[in-house]
Amino acid sequence: MLKDDIEKLIRLQEIDSEIRYYKTIIEELPAKKTQMEQSIEDVSKNLSYIKNEQKKIQLEKKERELELHSIEEDIKKLQKQLDGVKTNKEYTAVLSEIDNRKKKIGDMEDIILMLMEKEDKINEGLADIENKSAEMKREVEAKLSKEVEKMEEVKKLLEEKTPERKKIVAGISHTVYEIYEKIRIGKKDSIAICKMEGQSCSGCSMFVPVHLTEKIKAGKELVHCENCSRILY
Protein backbone atom coordinates (compact mmCIF):
# COMPACT_ATOMS: atom_id res chain seq x y z
CA MET A 1 0.00 0.00 0.00
CA LEU A 2 2.68 2.46 1.04
CA LYS A 3 4.85 1.35 -1.84
CA ASP A 4 1.96 2.18 -4.11
CA ASP A 5 1.59 5.61 -2.59
CA ILE A 6 5.31 6.29 -2.92
CA GLU A 7 5.24 5.37 -6.61
CA LYS A 8 2.32 7.70 -7.16
CA LEU A 9 4.01 10.46 -5.17
CA ILE A 10 7.05 10.15 -7.41
CA ARG A 11 4.85 10.61 -10.48
CA LEU A 12 3.01 13.46 -8.75
CA GLN A 13 6.33 15.13 -8.00
CA GLU A 14 7.26 14.91 -11.68
CA ILE A 15 3.99 16.54 -12.66
CA ASP A 16 4.31 19.22 -9.99
CA SER A 17 7.82 20.04 -11.14
CA GLU A 18 6.57 20.35 -14.71
CA ILE A 19 3.70 22.56 -13.55
CA ARG A 20 6.13 24.72 -11.61
CA TYR A 21 8.37 25.05 -14.67
CA TYR A 22 5.46 26.05 -16.90
CA LYS A 23 4.21 28.56 -14.37
CA THR A 24 7.67 30.13 -14.16
CA ILE A 25 7.73 30.57 -17.94
CA ILE A 26 4.32 32.23 -17.85
CA GLU A 27 5.27 34.46 -14.93
CA GLU A 28 8.50 35.56 -16.55
CA LEU A 29 6.92 36.63 -19.82
CA PRO A 30 5.67 40.11 -18.82
CA ALA A 31 9.15 41.13 -17.64
CA LYS A 32 10.74 39.71 -20.80
CA LYS A 33 8.16 41.54 -22.89
CA THR A 34 8.83 44.83 -21.12
CA GLN A 35 12.57 44.40 -21.62
CA MET A 36 12.17 43.72 -25.33
CA GLU A 37 9.79 46.62 -25.81
CA GLN A 38 12.25 48.81 -23.95
CA SER A 39 15.08 47.83 -26.27
CA ILE A 40 12.93 48.68 -29.30
CA GLU A 41 12.14 52.02 -27.72
CA ASP A 42 15.82 52.66 -27.00
CA VAL A 43 16.71 52.05 -30.63
CA SER A 44 14.11 54.48 -31.94
CA LYS A 45 15.07 57.03 -29.29
CA ASN A 46 18.69 56.83 -30.40
CA LEU A 47 17.65 57.25 -34.01
CA SER A 48 15.47 60.25 -33.33
CA TYR A 49 18.28 61.80 -31.27
CA ILE A 50 20.63 61.55 -34.25
CA LYS A 51 17.99 62.94 -36.60
CA ASN A 52 17.43 65.78 -34.21
CA GLU A 53 21.16 66.54 -34.16
CA GLN A 54 21.12 66.55 -37.95
CA LYS A 55 18.27 69.07 -37.97
CA LYS A 56 20.03 71.27 -35.43
CA ILE A 57 23.18 71.39 -37.54
CA GLN A 58 21.23 72.14 -40.70
CA LEU A 59 19.43 74.95 -38.93
CA GLU A 60 22.60 76.43 -37.52
CA LYS A 61 24.27 76.25 -40.92
CA LYS A 62 21.36 78.11 -42.49
CA GLU A 63 21.53 80.81 -39.82
CA ARG A 64 25.26 81.25 -40.34
CA GLU A 65 24.80 81.46 -44.10
CA LEU A 66 22.19 84.18 -43.68
CA GLU A 67 24.52 86.03 -41.34
CA LEU A 68 27.32 85.71 -43.85
CA HIS A 69 25.10 87.07 -46.58
CA SER A 70 24.10 90.05 -44.49
CA ILE A 71 27.77 90.88 -43.74
CA GLU A 72 28.53 90.69 -47.44
CA GLU A 73 25.71 93.14 -48.07
CA ASP A 74 27.19 95.44 -45.41
CA ILE A 75 30.57 95.34 -47.13
CA LYS A 76 28.94 96.29 -50.44
CA LYS A 77 27.28 99.27 -48.77
CA LEU A 78 30.51 100.34 -47.08
CA GLN A 79 32.38 100.10 -50.36
CA LYS A 80 29.83 102.42 -51.98
CA GLN A 81 30.23 104.73 -49.02
CA LEU A 82 33.95 104.76 -49.68
CA ASP A 83 33.33 106.56 -53.02
CA GLY A 84 31.67 109.46 -51.29
CA VAL A 85 34.08 110.14 -48.39
CA LYS A 86 35.59 113.57 -48.16
CA THR A 87 38.39 113.28 -45.59
CA ASN A 88 41.26 110.94 -45.15
CA LYS A 89 40.16 110.16 -41.60
CA GLU A 90 36.72 109.18 -42.80
CA TYR A 91 38.26 107.02 -45.52
CA THR A 92 40.43 105.14 -43.00
CA ALA A 93 37.45 104.62 -40.70
CA VAL A 94 35.29 103.06 -43.42
CA LEU A 95 38.16 100.96 -44.61
CA SER A 96 38.69 99.57 -41.14
CA GLU A 97 34.95 98.81 -40.92
CA ILE A 98 35.28 96.83 -44.13
CA ASP A 99 38.31 94.98 -42.79
CA ASN A 100 36.47 94.07 -39.61
CA ARG A 101 33.62 92.59 -41.59
CA LYS A 102 35.95 90.70 -43.87
CA LYS A 103 37.53 89.12 -40.82
CA LYS A 104 34.07 88.16 -39.58
CA ILE A 105 33.35 86.56 -42.94
CA GLY A 106 36.48 84.46 -42.59
CA ASP A 107 35.39 83.26 -39.15
CA MET A 108 31.90 82.57 -40.40
CA GLU A 109 33.19 80.55 -43.33
CA ASP A 110 35.26 78.42 -40.96
CA ILE A 111 32.21 77.73 -38.83
CA ILE A 112 30.09 76.86 -41.86
CA LEU A 113 32.78 74.49 -43.11
CA MET A 114 32.94 72.79 -39.73
CA LEU A 115 29.14 72.43 -39.67
CA MET A 116 29.19 70.96 -43.17
CA GLU A 117 31.76 68.39 -42.09
CA LYS A 118 29.66 67.49 -39.06
CA GLU A 119 26.58 67.17 -41.25
CA ASP A 120 28.41 64.93 -43.72
CA LYS A 121 29.53 62.64 -40.93
CA ILE A 122 26.00 62.34 -39.56
CA ASN A 123 24.56 61.73 -43.03
CA GLU A 124 27.09 59.00 -43.69
CA GLY A 125 26.32 57.19 -40.42
CA LEU A 126 22.59 57.72 -40.48
CA ALA A 127 21.73 55.27 -43.25
CA ASP A 128 23.73 52.59 -41.51
CA ILE A 129 22.11 53.29 -38.16
CA GLU A 130 18.67 53.32 -39.76
CA ASN A 131 19.27 49.92 -41.34
CA LYS A 132 20.65 48.43 -38.16
CA SER A 133 17.80 49.85 -36.09
CA ALA A 134 15.19 48.42 -38.42
CA GLU A 135 16.94 45.06 -38.39
CA MET A 136 17.17 45.00 -34.62
CA LYS A 137 13.53 45.99 -34.30
CA ARG A 138 12.51 43.14 -36.59
CA GLU A 139 14.64 40.69 -34.63
CA VAL A 140 13.23 41.72 -31.27
CA GLU A 141 9.68 41.64 -32.60
CA ALA A 142 10.21 38.14 -33.99
CA LYS A 143 11.68 37.02 -30.67
CA LEU A 144 8.75 38.51 -28.83
CA SER A 145 6.16 36.78 -31.00
CA LYS A 146 8.05 33.52 -30.50
CA GLU A 147 7.89 34.02 -26.75
CA VAL A 148 4.16 34.64 -26.92
CA GLU A 149 3.74 31.53 -29.05
CA LYS A 150 5.78 29.51 -26.58
CA MET A 151 3.63 30.77 -23.74
CA GLU A 152 0.46 29.69 -25.53
CA GLU A 153 1.94 26.20 -25.85
CA VAL A 154 2.96 26.20 -22.20
CA LYS A 155 -0.54 27.27 -21.18
CA LYS A 156 -1.94 24.33 -23.12
CA LEU A 157 0.51 21.91 -21.48
CA LEU A 158 -0.37 23.34 -18.11
CA GLU A 159 -4.05 22.78 -18.79
CA GLU A 160 -3.33 19.18 -19.71
CA LYS A 161 -1.41 18.62 -16.49
CA THR A 162 -4.26 19.68 -14.24
CA PRO A 163 -6.56 16.66 -14.86
CA GLU A 164 -3.54 14.34 -14.90
CA ARG A 165 -2.58 15.59 -11.47
CA LYS A 166 -6.12 15.20 -10.15
CA LYS A 167 -6.24 11.60 -11.33
CA ILE A 168 -3.03 10.69 -9.54
CA VAL A 169 -3.99 12.53 -6.37
CA ALA A 170 -7.26 10.58 -6.27
CA GLY A 171 -5.27 7.35 -6.05
CA ILE A 172 -3.05 8.44 -3.15
CA SER A 173 -4.17 7.99 0.44
CA HIS A 174 -5.35 11.29 1.86
CA THR A 175 -2.91 11.49 4.78
CA VAL A 176 0.11 10.78 2.59
CA TYR A 177 -1.01 13.38 0.06
CA GLU A 178 -1.45 15.99 2.78
CA ILE A 179 2.04 15.35 4.12
CA TYR A 180 3.44 15.65 0.59
CA GLU A 181 1.60 18.90 -0.06
CA LYS A 182 2.69 20.45 3.22
CA ILE A 183 6.34 19.76 2.44
CA ARG A 184 6.05 20.80 -1.22
CA ILE A 185 4.44 24.15 -0.41
CA GLY A 186 7.14 24.87 2.13
CA LYS A 187 10.02 24.22 -0.27
CA LYS A 188 11.45 26.84 -2.60
CA ASP A 189 12.08 24.23 -5.29
CA SER A 190 8.69 22.57 -4.64
CA ILE A 191 10.40 19.21 -4.18
CA ALA A 192 8.71 17.13 -1.47
CA ILE A 193 9.94 13.63 -2.24
CA CYS A 194 13.41 12.61 -3.26
CA LYS A 195 15.58 9.64 -3.94
CA MET A 196 18.41 8.38 -1.78
CA GLU A 197 21.72 9.00 -3.42
CA GLY A 198 24.05 6.46 -1.87
CA GLN A 199 23.90 7.34 1.81
CA SER A 200 22.55 10.84 1.29
CA CYS A 201 19.30 12.64 0.66
CA SER A 202 19.31 13.95 -2.91
CA GLY A 203 17.22 16.92 -1.79
CA CYS A 204 19.75 18.42 0.62
CA SER A 205 22.81 16.16 0.18
CA MET A 206 22.93 15.41 3.91
CA PHE A 207 23.84 11.99 5.24
CA VAL A 208 20.92 9.77 6.13
CA PRO A 209 21.49 7.54 9.20
CA VAL A 210 21.41 3.77 8.75
CA HIS A 211 18.28 3.25 10.85
CA LEU A 212 16.39 5.49 8.44
CA THR A 213 17.83 3.75 5.39
CA GLU A 214 16.57 0.50 6.79
CA LYS A 215 13.13 1.93 7.39
CA ILE A 216 13.06 3.06 3.77
CA LYS A 217 13.95 -0.45 2.64
CA ALA A 218 11.27 -1.97 4.88
CA GLY A 219 8.69 0.28 3.21
CA LYS A 220 6.26 0.24 6.12
CA GLU A 221 6.15 3.92 6.88
CA LEU A 222 6.98 7.26 5.31
CA VAL A 223 10.57 8.21 6.06
CA HIS A 224 11.64 11.85 6.17
CA CYS A 225 15.09 13.33 5.83
CA GLU A 226 16.11 14.57 9.28
CA ASN A 227 17.62 17.65 7.76
CA CYS A 228 15.17 18.85 5.08
CA SER A 229 12.16 16.74 6.07
CA ARG A 230 11.52 15.67 2.48
CA ILE A 231 10.06 12.17 1.99
CA LEU A 232 12.80 9.71 1.07
CA TYR A 233 12.62 6.63 -1.12
Beta bridge partners of 207: 200
Q: How far is the CB of 192 from Zn ion (least distance, A)?
A: 11
Residue 203 in contact with Zn ion, rule: CB under 5 A: yes
For 193, other C-beta atoms within 10 Å of its C-beta total 22
Task: With contacts defined by CB under 5 A, name the span among 81-89, 163-171, 212-220, 225-233 that binds Zn ion.
Answer: 225-233
- Is the CB of residue 221 less than 8 Å from the CB of residue 2? yes
Give the residue, chosen from 204, 212, 213, 215, that forms a contact with Zn ion under the rule CB under 5 A. Answer: 204
User: Per-residue contact track with Zn ion, 163 to 202, x per CB under 5 A?
Assistant: --------------------------------------x-
222 binds Zn ion (CB under 5 A): no
Vertex 190 angle, CA 187 and 196, to 5° = 90
Q: Is 212 in the site for Zn ion (CB under 5 A)?
A: no
User: How many CA atoms within 13 Å lie on the side-chain side of 146?
Assistant: 7
Q: How far is the CB of 202 from Zn ion (least distance, A)?
A: 8
Q: How many residues bind Zn ion (CB under 5 A)?
A: 6
Write the CB contacts of 91 (distance below 8 Å, at least 6 apart in sequence). 82, 85
CA distances for 198 relative to 12, 202, 213, angstroms: 23, 9, 10
* Residue number, 107 or 197, with CB nearest to Zn ion: 197
Taking CB under 5 A as the rule, which mask of x and - marks residues 45-74 in contact with Zn ion? ------------------------------
State which of residues 100, 133, 213, 227 lies at the interface with Zn ion (CB under 5 A).
Answer: 227
Asked if 223 touches Zn ion (CB under 5 A), the answer is no
Could you tell me the CA-to-CA distances from 231 to 2, 107, 162, 196 in Å, in that order? 12, 86, 23, 10
Q: Using the minimum distance from each CB to Zn ion, give the nearer residue, 9 or 228.
A: 228
In which region does residue 128 sit, left (phi positive, over 0), alpha (psi from -120 to 50) or beta (all else)? alpha
| Rounded alpha-carbon distances, angstroms, from residue 209 to 69, 199, 200, 214 | 97, 8, 9, 9
16 near Zn ion, judged by CB under 5 A: no
Q: Which stretch binds Zn ion (CB under 5 A): 16-24, 53-61, 176-184, 224-232?
A: 224-232
